[in-house]
A and B are shown apart, each in its own frame.
Chain A
Amino acid sequence: MAIPTTDSVYVPSPAQVVKIVPLTQMEKVFTIELPNGQSLGHKPGQFVEVSLLGVGEAPISISSSPSRSNGTFELCVRKVGDVTTAMHNLTEGAAIGVRGPFGTGFPLEKFRGKDILFAPGGLGLAPARSVINQVLDERGSYGRVIILYGAKTPGELLFKDELDAWSKRDDVEFHVTVDRGDADWKGNVGVITTLFPRITINPRNTVAITIGPPVMYRFVLMELLGKGVPDGQIWMSLERRMKCGVGKCGHCQINNLYCCQQGPSFSYAQIKGVEEAVG
C-alpha cells in the first residue's frame, strides 16, 4: 500500500494552455500559465518537462524570455513524437502539467559588454529566441547583436513577425537564409554557413550562441573557430531525451555529463573532445 505524498520531484504542477498559435505546418507556439499568477522563474536556455496525462512527458525548451514573462511562458513545439503530437491536438484552455525549469541556461551575466552572435538553425530558433529577446530587452548591456538564421525552406521559417522586426532594427544585424527557396523567396539560398562570409567580427569580444541539429554544429563550429572565437565563448544547446530532468534516469547522459544538469547549454570549451556531444 502506497500513500500519497507531496514532495515528489516527478509530480508536475498543473498549468493551463492559454493560447495556441500555429507557426508552420509542424510547429505551434503554446502560451502556458501557471496557477495563482506563479512565475516559472526561468533563465534563457532552460527547459521544462511537459506532461499530458495518459500520454507521457517530454522535455521542451522554453522559447520566451524571462524579460517578457508577464505571468506566462511560451513553448514552440514541433509535432514529432507522442507527447508533441498530443500537444498539437490541444485547444486553448487545456490543462497540462509542467515540471521545471531544468538545466543551467546561458550565463548571460558573463556576456555583458560583448558582441553577441546568434546562429540558430531550424527549430533551434525556439530556444534561441528566449536568449535573443532577453538580450534585446537589455540591449544596452551588450555590444553588437548579430543574428544569422537558417531554415530548410521559407515555409519552415519560425516567428516570421519577429524576424521581420529584427531585420528592421538599426541595432541588430540580421541575415536569414533557406536551404531551398520557392517562387516567392527573394532572399539568400544556402545553408547557414553561407551567411558567415557576410559578417566580420572581433572574435575576442564575441560570444556566439548557436543552436541546431548536430550536423549543423559541426559546420558552424568550423566557421566560428575559423574566425577565431575562443572555445569558451561559443555556446550551444544540446538536445537529449531527458526523462527525469533531475540527473537520475541516465537518458540524457553525454559521456560523463548529464545534459539536464550541466546543460543543455554548454560552451564549446566544456564539450570539446567529449565524443558523444555533437553526434
Chain B
Amino acid sequence: MSLKIINKKDVSSFVSSLMSQYDVLGPVARENKFAFTPIGDAAEVRLDYNTSILPPKKALLPQEETLFTFALDGGFAAQPMLDTRPRVVLGVHTCDIHAMKLLDAVFAKGTPDAHYLKRREKTLIVGIECLSPCDEHSFCKSMGTLTASEGYDLHLTDIGDAYMVDVGTDAGRMLLTLHGKVHDATREDMTRLNQALSDKWSRFMYKLDFDATELPSLMAVSYKSPLWEELGKKCLACGQCTIVCPTCYCFNVLDEVSMDGKRGERKRIWDSCQLDEFARVATGENFRKTRAQRQRHRFFRKGKYLPDMHGELGCVGCGRCARACLVDITPVNVFNSLYKAKAAQ
C-alpha cells in the first residue's frame, strides 16, 4: 500500500528535515500573492497557496544559468557547469506537474540537454492535489490537468487535519521514510480521501466550449483567422505571458564578462517569442515582425506545434498568462473565439 498519512502539524518538521539535505523550494506568501522560493524557514511554506506568480519550472530551468565558465587569456578553455544540487520542490499543483512532464520531453528528446536533465534528475517533486480552483482564470478542468497520476515523487491531498500522501517513486518513498513522521492510512482516512476527491470536481468549471483534444485540429484551420490581427492591436509585446507560462522554455544565450575582464561565463536566460527581437537575424530581417504574428506563434505553439511534436497539449490551463496580461488576452477567450468562428463556417 503506497498511501500514507502525515498530520498537518508534522509538515513543518518534515520540511525542516528535508532542508538539512536538500535545497527546498516551495510556495511562500509575497504580499497578496505567492511565489516558489528557496525555503529558509519551514513555517513559511504555504501548501494552501492558490497559484504562484512564476511557475515552479524555474526549479528546473532557472531564469538564468551558467552553461560554462572561461578565462579570457587568449586561449579557448571552457569549463562546463552542471547543477547537481539535490533539490525538493514542494507543493506543485497538478497543472504544473503536467507542464514539467512536457519540459522533460522537450529537453530529453532529440539532442539531450544535460544542464536541464541533470538538474531534473536531482530534483524531487512533491505535488499537491487541487481541491478548489486557484481563481476565475483557472481552466485546468478543460485541459485535463486537474489531477495527475504520475510525474511526482510524492503527492499530497488535504483531508482535513492531515495530508494523504501518495508515493509515486522509490525516491519519494525514501524521502518519506527518512524525513517524514507518517503512518499508514486507515479505512477512515481512505473514506475522507475519497470524499475530498469526489467533492472537488464540481467546484471546477469547464471553461472551453469544446474538448481540448480538438485543439490541434482547431488551430490547424485557424491560421488565417482575423483574431490574430485583433490580438496584435491589443498586445503590448511585454512578454509576460510567456515568462509566467509553465510550458514556455525558449531561451537566449549570452556571454557575461567579469569586471576585471579576465573571466566570463556563457549563460542561458529566459527569452520570449513575444519580443520584437526574437526572430530577427543579424542582417536585419525579422521573420515575425508584427505582434499579431507573434501572438499567433505563441498560441500555435500551445495548441498545435508542441502537441504535434510531443503528443501533449502545450497549455495546462493554469491561467497565469491571463492573470499577467495587462490587456486581458486570455487563452480561454482566444480558443473559444476560434472555436466559435469555426462553428459558424
Partner of B300, one of A3, A78, A255: A255
- A10: interface (CB < 8 Å): yes
Task: Tell me, in angstroms, the Cα distance from A4 to B257 when the chains sit together.
Answer: 19
Can you list, as one digit per residue, whether each of B61-87 has a CB less than 8 Å from chain A (1) or not (0)? 000001110101011111111111100
* 0/1 interface trace, chain A 33-75, chain B, CB 8 Å (1 if under): 0000000000000000001011111100000000000000000
Interface string of A237-263 (1 = CB under 8 A from B): 001110110111111011110000100
Interface string of B244-286 (1 = CB under 8 A from A): 0000011111110100010010101001010000111111010
Closest B residue by C-beta to A6: B80
Cβ-neighbour of B111 out of A55, A246, A255, A256 (below 8 A): A246
Q: Contacts A250-B251, A276-B287 given: A4-B82 contact, CB under 8 Å? A: yes
A160 to B249, CA, bound (A): 44
Q: Is A279 on the interface with B (CB-CB < 8 A)?
A: yes
Inter-chain contact A250/B255, CB cutoff 8 Å:
no
| Count of chain A residues near B, Cβ 8 A | 49
- Find the A residue at minimum CB distance from B304: A256
> Known contacts A2-B66, A10-B115, A250-B273; is A275 also within 8 Å of B223 by CB?
yes
B interface, over-half SS = mixed
Contacts A4-B82, A95-B74, A256-B304: A213 and B283 contacting too (C-beta < 8 A)?
A: yes
* A220 at the binding interface (Cβ < 8 Å): no
Tell me the residues in window 309-328 of chain B with beta carbons closer than 8 Å to chain A beta carbons: 309
Q: In the assembly, what is the distance between CA of A240 and CA of B257, in Å?
A: 26
- Measured CA separation A81–B251 after assembly (Å): 19
Q: Collect the chain B residues with CB atoms within 8 Å of residue A275's CB.
A: 223
Cβ contact within 8 Å between B80 and A240: no
In the complex, A6 Cα to B118 Cα: how many Å? Answer: 12
Q: B118 to A1, Cβ gap below 8 A?
A: no
Task: Evaluate contact between B111 and A247: CB separation under 8 angstroms.
Answer: yes
Cβ contact within 8 Å between B255 and A53: yes
Residues of A within 8 A of B (CB): 1-12, 14-15, 51, 53-58, 78, 80-81, 84, 95-97, 213-214, 239-241, 243-244, 246-251, 253-256, 261, 275-276, 279
Enumerate 9 A-B pairs (CB-CB under 8 Å) in ascending A order.
A1-B85, A8-B114, A10-B268, A14-B75, A57-B255, A214-B285, A249-B250, A251-B278, A276-B293
Besides A78-B283, A248-B251, 18 more A-B contacts (Cβ < 8 Å) are: A2-B84, A8-B68, A8-B82, A9-B114, A11-B68, A12-B76, A14-B75, A95-B74, A213-B285, A240-B281, A247-B110, A248-B249, A249-B250, A250-B271, A251-B279, A253-B297, A255-B297, A255-B305
Q: Residues on B close to A: CB < 8 A?
A: 66-68, 70, 72, 74-85, 106-107, 110-115, 118, 223, 249-255, 257, 261, 264, 266, 268, 271, 273, 278-283, 285, 287-288, 293, 297, 300, 304-305, 308-309
